[in-house]
Amino acid sequence: RNSLIPRVIFVSLFITLFTSTPGKTEPLACPLPPELADRVHVDPAAIESASTDYGNTVHNKPAAVLYPSSVQDISSLIEASFTCSTPFGISARGNGHSTHGQDMANNGVVVDMKGLREQKKRDRIFISKRPLFADVGGEQLWIDVLNATVKEGLAPVSWTDFLELSVGGTLSNAGISGQTFRFGPQISNVYELDVVTGKGELVTCSANNNSELFYGVLGGLGQFGIITRARIALGLAFKRVLWAQILYSNFSAFTIDQEHFIASHGRRPGNDISYLEGGLVLDNGTPNTWRTFFFPPADLPKISSLVKQHGIIYSLEIARSYEDLTEKTVEKEMKQFIKGLSSVPEYIYQKNVSFEEFLTRVQIQVQKNESHPWLNLFIPKSVISDFDSGVFRDIVLKRNITTGPVLFYPMFRNKWDDRMSAAIPDEDIFYTAGLLYTSGINDWQVYEDQNKAILEFCDKAGINVKQYLPNHATKNEWIKHFGSKWTDFEQRKALFDPKMILSPGQRIFNNN
């Protein structure tokens, strides 16, 4: 009975604290479950960290932050909101790498999944060899999944470029990288999920079991539940990777060759590539950015003059993972294959690295005084040349403010399951364009203006782009974004989160 005393104090303290600091955060209308007392933080440091993300342009303060120590903590919190007469918003914060406040909960509660990560429980990453899969906690970072699986000679087949992202966070979007053309996005490589819904219920779902929830959650922007476990596909971890960067001054040659690689993959000798990306080389110091171009220093002057001559050049990036071939054999095969390309590239560079070195190639130090107002788009293949001239040349090149990498690479629609929530263009091949700006804290608005100009141009030119990691301000924009998937999306919301508690930072159903 004695242990009840601090809990009662916690609840009263909680209510008093928030009613006594008007203007900063609104009080929650209902008390939180007393058993969460020592995991709920309301101190300025916790509030500050949950109201900042990688984008660093949106800052919405939650009333409190929960650092869960178990899945039950998450259920209890959601249930408390669900049963409250005035439900409060709840957002999972995977690792805070959103760029427009999508992981925030204004005046609600942020569930910082770091709490679960810090439990270091062994069963939060479990590897099964027969059948082959990994069961990983939604809070886990992909880097930790890599480290655990390679020890067993295994690895997930589909990745993101950067691995300090959480499993739940990328599965709520899609999870794309150079493997997507071959294996599909990360959401296409999930067998089963455990999800705490907007009613606080823990539900196991898969393609055959609670499939509405399963497909809804994949690419569902956190709207239907908090992912607490994902069963993901594994393949072999290779030993080495032959990695090549091939430069083009001509956009159409660059994209023809990208499509040539992905279409003939596995069907032409030497083309067993496991990874294909691409991007722009601009006259903005790009070789020094985190995209890790590996042009030799001696070649930089001639590359630089090529960029000056053409304004933009394009870098096609491929990699081939291998196990028991010699370096020479793989290099010979790659040479043969590149020789057979339909276009003539200006320069070709190659590098041989370990499998882990390749997957961890993107390393980022986040600086406090930086903002990242990114724009990521999916573009139907039929209009990429209009996109190049209207966006890359008429906006990006002319404004000349773009810092950071600009990615551009293709993928196949049939590697995505249409039942999943993720919104993609309606063509067999589409490209992703990622404008991954790094700006100063005071000048991010000029990048948002550029984003706006790009979206307006696409709209006027009839280029039907979809935003990836979307950021929309109005319900109509969301309806347009999801297109034919909107009705299902809305119905799934009514089924799994009828009180519209989850992921308010996405501003889909609750504009705050």
Residue numbers of the site for ligand FAD (CB under 6 A)? Answer: 54, 91-98, 102-103, 113, 138, 160-162, 165-166, 168-170, 172-177, 221-222, 226-227, 364, 469, 503, 505-506
On the CB side of 141, CA atoms within 13 Å amount to 17
Q: Using the minimum distance from each CB to ligand FAD, give the nearer residue, 177 or 245.
A: 177
Taking a C-beta distance cutoff of 8 angstroms, is the pair 437, 451 a contact?
no
- Type of residue found at 105: A
φ/ψ (deg, to 5) at 322: -150, 165
Which uninterrupted H or E stretch holds 317?
Answer: strand 312-322
> Which is nearer to ligand FAD, 50 or 429 (by Cβ)?
50
As to burial, measured by CB atoms within 10 angstroms (0-12 exposed, 13-18 middle, 19+ buried), residue 481 is middle
- Give which of 134, 86, 181, 162 is closest to 410, Cα–Cα: 181
Residue with Cβ nearer ligand FAD (104 or 334): 104
Taking the complex as a whole, the smallest distance from the CB of residue 196 to ligand FAD amounts, in Å, to 8
Q: Which is nearer to ligand FAD, 307 or 407 (CB)?
A: 407
CB of 164 to ligand FAD, least distance (A): 8
Q: How far is the CB of 506 from ligand FAD (least distance, A)?
A: 5
Residues 6 or more apart in contact with residue 344 via CB below 8 angstroms:
253
Q: Give Cβ neighbours of residue 84 (< 8 Å, ≥ 6 apart).
A: 29, 30
Give the bridge partners for 320, in sequence order: 242
**φ, ψ at 131 (rounded to 5°):** -70, 165
Catalytically active residues are 97, 161, 277
CB of 21 to ligand FAD, least distance (A): 25
Nearest distance, CB of residue 340 and ligand FAD, angstroms: 29
Distance CA 494, CA 485 (A): 15
Q: Which residues pair with 231 in a beta bridge?
A: 135, 192
β-pair partners for 303: none
| Beta carbon of residue 424, minimum distance to ligand FAD (angstroms, whole number) | 13
CA distances from 359 to 117, 331, 363, 461 (A): 21, 20, 10, 37
Residue nearer to ligand FAD on the CB measure, 94 or 345: 94
Which residue do the tokens 């899609």 mark?
174
Give all strands (DSSP E) within 146-265, no chain letters.
154-156, 190-197, 202-206, 225-232, 234-236, 240-248
Helix (H, G, I), strand (E, B) or coil at 489: helix
How many whole angstroms separate alpha carbon 431 and alpha carbon 341?
Answer: 20
Using alpha carbons, list the distances in angstroms from residue 402 to 365, 374, 512. 19, 11, 29
Nearest to 277 by CA among 199, 140, 179: 179
CB 282, min distance to ligand FAD, A: 19
Instruction: Pull the structure tokens for residue 204.
Output: 């196991």
Nearer to ligand FAD, 91 or 286 (CB): 91
Give the residues across from 193 on adjacent strands. Answer: 205, 230
Please identify, using beta-carbon distances, which residue of 206 and 250 lies nearer to ligand FAD.
206
Spatial separation of the C-alpha atoms in residues 262 and 401, rounded to whole Å: 32
Cβ proximity to ligand FAD: between 316 and 502 the closer is 502
* Residue closer to ligand FAD, measured from CB, 94 or 156: 94
In this structure, the number of other CB atoms found within 10 A of the CB of residue 484 comes to: 9
Residue 353, sorted as left (phi over 0), alpha (psi -120 to 50) or beta, turns out to be beta
Report the nearest approach of ligand FAD to the CB of residue 74 (Å): 9
Q: How many CB atoms lie within 10 A of CB 24?
A: 11
Minimum CB distance to ligand FAD, residue 297 (Å): 26
